[in-house]
Each structure stands twice: as structure tokens, then as C-alpha cells.
A and B are shown apart, each in its own frame.
Chain A
Amino acid sequence: MRKGLGPFTITALVAGFAFLYLPILLLIVYSFNDSRLVTVWGGFSTRWYGSLWQNQALLDAAWVTLRVAFVSATLATILGTMAAVALTRLGRFRSRTLFAGMLYAPLVMPEVITGLSLLLLFVAIDLNRGYWTVMLAHTSFTMCFVAVVVQSRLIGFDRSLEEAAQDLGATPLRTFFSVTLPLIAPAVAAGWMLAFTLSLDDLVIASFTTGPGATTLPMRIYSQVRLGVTPEINAVCTLFIGFVTLIVMASSLAMKRQMIVAEQPVRG
């Protein structure tokens, strides 16, 4: 199989990666630009990173975003794991297909529609829009991603492990916490990180469901960009990219560990 890289392959690879990452690379490079004008290179400087810490509005938005992401990811992980367990463990209960379909629908639903419908709901039940509504909205759209990740692990799970625990006297609840959960933990962690990143990135749903005093970082960046791109925004975005990259890497490491656990032979 390994024939080395031909000139065509190399060209395709470079073009592909350039298409994907050149804009981001440009953004990172310009975040170190000394000039106030975004498109004119004025020498290397980290001054925009320094000035970030004076921009209270950006810092507030970042803090809101982190809180929303943390709480909604945690809630989504609990709910998503429960849904995945229900789907794989309860066998073919009535309306299982409907439940599964409804759980996966948000994966393909346009964000605008999700955001709009959530907005309508919050207005209808007269919920004051702000931090909590964003948080709830994010929980509802990220939990299906968690469910998918956890379910893939549960499907490959040896049922006889759970039966053995029950056979030895563990109630179903204890079986879940002492056998099932430790074994699917990597998938649950990966699901949490996925939910966290999704919440961090989200602009559309947050814009629909937020209210005064709860502006998230993507929203703040977007609104600032409309007034003109500043090197400061480039710096924020660079930090943001770094942060998300770290989480994605941690998540894929967790998934890799899970693969190793799953590949271990059950029989001797």
C-alpha cells in the first residue's frame, strides 16, 4: 500500500489543507501584528493580547460563555447518557424508534430553526431571557451529540458484565455505577468535551435565546466585527482556537483510550 507520496497526492494535500487552514493561519499571524490596521503588517508584537485584559466587555462575554458551556455540557452529559442507556438497554420498548428518531433529529436540524423554536418556547412560557435560557438551549441541542457518542460505546459493551454484577448481588443502580459507568467513562468524558466545544462555538442559537446581560463570546466577537475587524479580535480568536484545539485533542485522546479498552479480548 505504501508507495510514497506522488506529486499529485502532495498537490492535493497542500491545496486541501490550504483551503481549510489558510484563513485561520492568516488570522493567527495578524493577531501578532503591531499595526492598528488589520491588513497592513507593522511588525511583530503581542500588544493586542495585553490589551485584551483591559477590554471588560470581552472578558465578561468570555466568562458567560465558559459558565454556559460548563453547566450545559454537564447537564447534556447526564441527560444524553441516560438517553443512550435507555436506547440500548431497555430493548425494544414501545415507541423506541420514535424516541431514537426524536433524539437524533436535532443533529440535522438547521440551527436557525432550533433557535427560533426555543425562542418561541421561552416567550410562550414567559421565561426571562438571559444566562439560563442560553444554558437550557445549549443543553437541549448538545445532549443528542452526547447520546450518540455514549451509545456507540454501549452497543459494543459486553452485556454479561452487567449480568455478572447483578448475579453477584448488585442492584441495577449499583451495577450502573460500579460496572457500566467506569467502563463507558471515556465515552462519557468525550461526550462532555464535545458538548462543551459545541456550546462554546455556538452563535446562532445563543443569539436567538439570549437576553440583556448574557452576551456570549461568539456574539460579542460578531458584533464587534460588524464595526470593523481589529487586531484585538484576531487575538481573542487565536486564543479561542487554541482553547478549542486543546479540548478536541483531549476528547480524541479519551476516545482513543476507549477504543483500547473496547479492543481488549473478553475471552482468553
Chain B
Amino acid sequence: MDVQAGKQPKMLATARREFAPWKDKAASPLIRFERVSKRYGGVTAVDGVSLDIYPGEFFALLGPSGCGKTTLMRMLAGFEEPSEGRVWLAGRDLAGVPPYRRPVNMMFQSYALFPHMTVFDNVAFGLKQDGAPKGEIASTVAEMLKLVNLTGYERRKPDQLSGGQRQRVALARSLAKRPKVLLLDEPLAALDKKLRGQTQFELMDLQAKVGTTFLIVTHDQEEAMTVADRIAVMDHGRIAQVDTPADLYEKPATRYVAEFVGDVNLIEAKVVSRDANSVLMQSEAMSAPLRAICEGDVSPGQQVALALRPEKIRVTLRKPGEALENCVRGTVSDIAYLGDLSIYHVRLESGLILKAARPNITRFTEQPITWEDKVYLSWAPEAGVVLVK
């Protein structure tokens, strides 16, 4: 698979850039969750979820463990039946259709390779269930193993493979039947960090190559943002927001999303006034008034939160210009040097700690900012997002 990463045709990359069927009113979704709920006794695992996923999408369900993302996926695979609502696949209601009759295949978190079968038999298992002719099975298996770069491993048993190889066999097995949707349940959780990063790109390339709709479940926001076209962030069985990775990061809809995706400073504030495209806020924790671009529906006196990403805050030793808004003073209380960037924890006079990130562009700075330095934090009005929810 890593060989193909370099040879990726440019055409696919261009197609990827223009790919946004969710904006197209005429496009019909491949998967539709319609007010789906799932209850186990008194516990609600999935709570009235409605979601459309389009053909060819790489879609991620993101959330902490227990948020209902796996249950939602398992309802599509057929291992769970919704307590309420409907699941549609290609215009067909899936209610009552058993897992072995659904045109979706799943790659399990544990890989679930059959330990008593060879790699060949594992990949061929699904094809055999359909009663495909022997020759066709052999050629499809060969093709799948070539796709995941495991040609020559046909006779091995799963216990004779490394973790990464098992992951590829599982992938080949779930793709062999050419499913309408490939479900991936935390597919990379068992791999070490380096291999995981590499495999994420391989997964994207593979998806572009086979054109199948991929639905991935993950708790790792970095992973979801790397591979997916769109992400649904889930919280307690509900969908908090569905958006592209960039929109999710730059335009979080709720405090929960802002905090879950990436790092953020949430500043509680009260709206003072608003003009055509911005609002002026006052926070007890901040010495200066805050201004942020906001097109949403807020009115003076309303309690809101300003979400400010650390990398959008400038840290300077001297006061930047004569700015009266969006500029506060504080003391550096902690520095985390991460190599590519440094994270500064700055304590304001009110005691609130703001996180600010600074890329380490030069190798050495003449006047480095260090512990106990008095610094100014400033940001542009378009840097912050006003959150009502």
C-alpha cells in the first residue's frame, strides 16, 4: 500500500477537492439515518440521530467512548436493531434485514480474523458464502491481496502475521465482496503511533482507488480529521455537529465540539452590543473588551462563550499597537516545547489561564519568551468564534 501512496494520480486529488455532494441539493444519500434511537433498558445509547451520508464519501463518526458511535455503526451492519427510527441504504429500509443479507461489510477493531483459516481462506470467506465460482474467488482474492500489498502471504495463518499485516488482511477481507459501504470500527487503534499515521494515508488512497463509501468510527480526532471528508461529532447519543474537518475546527457550533476537536480557550462573556457583522463582549476575567466577527443571532445582555484557538493568539513582550480590544496582559506560567511549536500558558490578572501557541519558525530566538515574563496576548476579531450553545 505504501508504494501506491507516491503514485497517486493527480486526477484523484483534484476530484477530492471538488467533492462535496452534501452541498448538492439534487444528490441522494446512500445511507440515511432517520431519527434513529437505541435504548438498552433504561440507557439511551443513540438518541434521535438523523444523518445523511453520500456515495463515495469518507465519513467519520467521532466521539469519546460511550457516545453511541459504535452502536450507530452496528445498526447499519445489522448487529443491532434501532429501538426507533429507520436506517436506509440505497433507498431500501434495512429494518429486519439480517447482517448476512446487508450489502455492507465491516472491519472489526479486533480484526476478527478466523484463526483456523489461512489468509487466502479468510479473504475468500465472504465470496464462498455467495457461492462464487472457484476461479473467480481465486482471482478476486489475488486482486485484494495485491491491493493491500500482501501478495505471497496466502498460505500464512493469522498468528504468523504482524499487527500491521493482520490489519491489511482484515481490510482485504472486508473489501473482497465489493460492499456498498465499508464500515471501519476503530481500525487503527491496535497499531503503534507511527504505523497509524502512515496507515491513515494509505486508507485515504485506498478509498479513492476503490471508490467505496467508507464509514469510520474513531475516538481519535486527529485520525478523523486526516482521513474523513466529513465528520459527525457525537455526544451522549446525539450528533453535536456534522461538518468538514476544517469547518469543524474553525466554526465549531457548540462548546462541546470546540473542546473535543483540537485545543481551545473558552472565555465566558456577556454581549455588550452588536453591529452589522461583529459583537462586542465583556468578560469578568478579561481586562479588555472582546470583539469577534459573528453573524449568528445574539442580543445584548446574552451570556456567550468566546472560543479562541491557541495558535490564533499572538504572544508579544511589547504591547502591539494601540489596540483597546482583544488585547490582555498576563504572566507566563508554563511553557510546553513541542518542537514544531511551543504552547504558553499565560495567567491573566484575573487568574484565568489562556493557552497560546507559537510556531518555532527560527531555530533560536534572540529574545525568547520565558517563565514569569510579562506578555501581551492579542488576536484579530475574526480569530474567535462566539458560541451560544
Contact = CB atoms under 8 A, between A and B. Distances in A.
Interface string A160-203: 11011111111110100011001100000000000000000000
B14 interface: no
B190 interface: yes
Contacts of A167: 77-78, 99-100, 104-106, 174
B371 interface: no
Contact of B164 (A174, A178, A264, A268): A268
Nearest to B190: A267
Contacts of A170: 100, 125, 129
A131 to B, nearest CB: 38
Contacts of A264: 115, 159
Interface in B96-112: 98-101, 104-106, 108-112
Given A167-B77, A167-B105, A267-B163, A160 B99 contact: no
Nearest to B101: A169
A46 to B, nearest CB: 45
Nearest to A168: B126
B163 A179 contact: no
A164 B115 CA distance: 12
Contacts of A158: 110, 112
Interface in A240-264: 261, 264
Contacts of B162: 268
A234 to B, nearest CB: 45
Contact of A164 (B104, B112, B164): B112
Contacts of B112: 158, 160-161, 163-164, 266
Interface in B163-177: 163-167, 173-174, 177
Contacts of B104: 167
Nearest to A267: B190
Contacts, number: 79
A168 B173 contact: yes
Instruction: Provide the main secondary structure of the chain A interface.
Output: helix
B111 A268 contact: yes
B116 A174 contact: no
Nearest to B123: A168
A166 B74 CA distance: 13
A40 B77 CA distance: 76
B95 interface: no
A130 B112 CA distance: 49
B256 interface: no
Contact of A267 (B106, B110, B165, B177): B110
A174 B104 CA distance: 19
Contacts of A166: 78, 98-100
A160 B125 contact: no
B343 to A, nearest CB: 33
Contacts of A268: 111, 161-167, 190-191
B337 interface: no
Interface string B181-195: 000000000110000
B254 to A, nearest CB: 33
Contacts of B18: none
26 contacts: A158-B112, A161-B112, A163-B106, A163-B108, A163-B112, A164-B112, A164-B173, A165-B125, A166-B78, A166-B100, A167-B99, A168-B126, A168-B173, A169-B101, A169-B129, A170-B100, A170-B129, A171-B100, A172-B100, A174-B129, A179-B114, A266-B110, A266-B112, A267-B110, A268-B163, A268-B164
Given A167-B105, A268-B166, 14 more contacts: A160-B108, A160-B112, A161-B112, A163-B108, A164-B112, A166-B98, A167-B77, A167-B106, A170-B125, A266-B110, A266-B112, A268-B162, A268-B190, A268-B191
